[in-house]
Amino acid sequence: MPKQIDAATLKGWIADGRELAILDAREEGEFGRSHLFWAIPCPLSKKEFRARALLPRLATRVVCVDGGEGYAAQLAAYLEGIGCTDVGVLAGGTPGWITAGYTAFSGVNVPSKAFGEWIEHHYETPSVDPGELKAMMDAGTDMVVLDSRPIDEFRRMTIPTAVNVPGGELVYRIGEFVTRPETTIVVNCAGRTRSILGAESLRSAGVPNKVVALRNGTMGWELAGFTCDRGRSDRYPDRTPVGVETALDRADRFARKNGVRFITRAEFERMQGEPGRTTYLLDVRDPAEFNAGHLVGSRSAPGGQLVQATDQWVAVRGARIVLVDDTGVRARMTGGWLRQLGGWDVCVLTDGLQGRIEEGSWAPHCPEAEALRIPHVTPAELAVLAGEGAAQVVDLARSIDFRDGHVPGALWGIRTRLARLSDRLTGDRQIVVAAPEEAQARLAAAELQGFAKAPVKILAGGTKAWAAAGFPMAADRRDPEDADCVDFYLRPYDRNEGIEEAMHAYLSWEIDLVHEVKKDGDAPFGAWV
């Protein structure tokens, strides 16, 4: 049975220098209301996928946390069931942590966002407000606007004239966009963090141009009364960029200054056998490059997003992070920032893509799902059943994605909480489970079989296959309602009401993080270099 850990003990563990993972068992939206600074979301609904990826070494010291609901004990029991040997539960959960006098944080990706604010203060990263940028545009200023977010966020909304160059690509690809030292470079994101990180990456790498962050990003732009572009896909050229030698020289200086180590594949193989150390192997290139060929055992973690949302990939404090790319530029820049952010032992593989590689996207190992055999229906078969009124679809997509598109009439649900749909699932209609990954659908089907009165099958290929087959999709921004989106921490522009107020609140929250982190005392950014 997992041991109970009091708040004072956990506070001491965070600072003792030994490996430690703090896993929060709540759904992301619940987690975002109040959590420990270094807590990592590992919701019960995704524990079979998240836990093994977050804990490459099962002997790692782990403390499970929740909001006092009892979810932490369930997660801890699961972790022990898959072989974790040092698992505890925070007594009283996050409320107990607060009662003990310690700081809790709202929001998601908090360490990374707080780090962005620290960077701005520490490096005095210059910025322009939206009105200044609009005046520069109107005056025909020699400049480029580079949007440092992933392409899906860029398509949703971006600044007019901007080109999509995600943060991890900026130093690598700046030669494609800037050939004159007089050109001003403006970096933007949706809010603040990636604007600051992107601009400071170029400045710290020694790019000679004037580089500024757009203060408050696309949110600030719209709050100032300007209109964002939507649906654009302007992006960097898909090739090895101009000036890669210069970029490598800049990135190498930055990495070495910040204590990044360089290792060969042979040294990495020896490291993997080292007892008592957790190692993450992350490929920081664009996901399309990763899918075309990557080192066996590596996971795709685009460099800009890895720094922006480190808790999606790395849970263990004090772990070793090994970074891989092709030319070395992106791994070096990412590694330098990770060293300042978390103090992890960060290494760059100098020959990471030489030798045996594999193709395809990364998928988590999930033996629980692999052991299940659930019958399938094709999209065409589901269309026939739906036309006859003989099917009921349960969709496990993220709530925000379900709003954007789902099989007409589908019910949205969260795995491990599907019993809440029992009153809406009748015994006279076939139940069909749609999910982004089949493993998730299998586990949910097994859960449904435990209480549903009708047979349960899986939609082959999920909702994506349904749409690709040309069948109609339904969309509704109010299904589910904002308050019911417990699986996803809604961004201001995801909300149905109070969007402008939410934008103001979000930007104020980001700015205040640097003060909250100082009060908490568990994030000595920059102290390890």
C-alpha 35/C-alpha 140 separation (Å) is 46
C-alpha 159/C-alpha 190 separation (Å) is 10
Cβ atoms within 10 A of the Cβ of 318, count? Answer: 18
pLDDT tens, position by position, 52-84: 999 999 999 999 999 999 999 999 999 999 999
C-alpha 22/C-alpha 31 separation (Å) is 13
- Does residue 466 contact residue 459 with C-beta atoms inside 8 Å? yes
29: three-class secondary structure by DSSP: helix
Cβ-proximal residues to 470 (8 Å cutoff; 6+ apart), any chain: none
Residue 285: name the closest of 258, 311, 342, 323 by CA.
323
DSSP single-letter state for residue 499: H
Asked whether residue 514 carries a pLDDT value surpassing 80, the answer given is yes
Asked whether residue 1 carries a pLDDT value surpassing 90, the answer given is no
- DSSP code per residue over 193-234: HHHHHHHHHHHHTT--S-EEEETTHHHHHHHTT---B-S---
**Intervals of CATH 3.40.250.10 along the chain:** 3-107, 114-242, 254-310+319-355, 369-480
Asked whether residue 238 carries a pLDDT value surpassing 80, the answer given is yes
As a whole number, mean pLDDT of residues 135-163 equals 97
Proportion of the chain above pLDDT 70, given as a percent = 100
pLDDT tens, position by position, 12-22: 999 999 999 99
Asked whether residue 283 carries a pLDDT value surpassing 90, the answer given is yes
- Does residue 194 contact residue 167 with C-beta atoms inside 8 Å? yes
Which CATH number describes the domain made up of 369-480?
A: 3.40.250.10
pLDDT tens, position by position, 382-430: 999 999 999 999 999 999 999 999 999 999 999 999 999 999 999 999 9
Residue 209: name the closest of 237, 164, 174 by CA.
174
- Does residue 395 contact residue 413 with C-beta atoms inside 8 Å? yes
First vs last C-alpha separation in the chain: 40
Which CATH number describes the domain made up of 3-107?
A: 3.40.250.10
As a whole number, mean pLDDT of residues 291-311 equals 96
**Average pLDDT score over the chain:** 96
| Identity of residue 39 | A
Assigned fold of 114-242 = Oxidized Rhodanese; domain 1 (3.40.250)
pLDDT tens, position by position, 105-142: 999 999 999 999 999 999 999 999 999 999 999 999 99
As a whole number, mean pLDDT of residues 262-283 equals 93
Asked whether residue 351 carries a pLDDT value surpassing 70, the answer given is yes
As a whole number, mean pLDDT of residues 243-263 equals 97
Asked whether residue 529 carries a pLDDT value surpassing 70, the answer given is no
Proportion of the chain above pLDDT 90, given as a percent = 95
C-alpha 155/C-alpha 145 separation (Å) is 15
- Does residue 96 contact residue 26 with C-beta atoms inside 8 Å? no
Residue 79: name the closest of 47, 102, 103, 104 by CA.
47
Asked whether residue 521 carries a pLDDT value surpassing 80, the answer given is yes
Assigned fold of 254-310+319-355 = Oxidized Rhodanese; domain 1 (3.40.250)
pLDDT tens, position by position, 27-44: 999 999 999 999 999 999
List the structure tokens of 308. 């922006």
- Does residue 306 contact residue 322 with C-beta atoms inside 8 Å? no
- Does residue 329 contact residue 171 with C-beta atoms inside 8 Å? yes
Q: CB burial class (10 A; 0-12, 13-18, 19+) of residue 201?
A: buried
Asked whether residue 234 carries a pLDDT value surpassing 90, the answer given is yes
> How confident is the model at residue 311, as a pLDDT?
96
C-alpha 400/C-alpha 412 separation (Å) is 11
C-alpha 167/C-alpha 189 separation (Å) is 9
Q: How many CA atoms lie within 13 A of 129 on its CB side?
A: 4
List the structure tokens of 520. 């908490």
C-alpha 190/C-alpha 214 separation (Å) is 10
Cβ atoms within 10 A of the Cβ of 18, count? Answer: 12
Beta strands in 123-199 (DSSP E): 127-128, 143-147, 163-164, 184-188
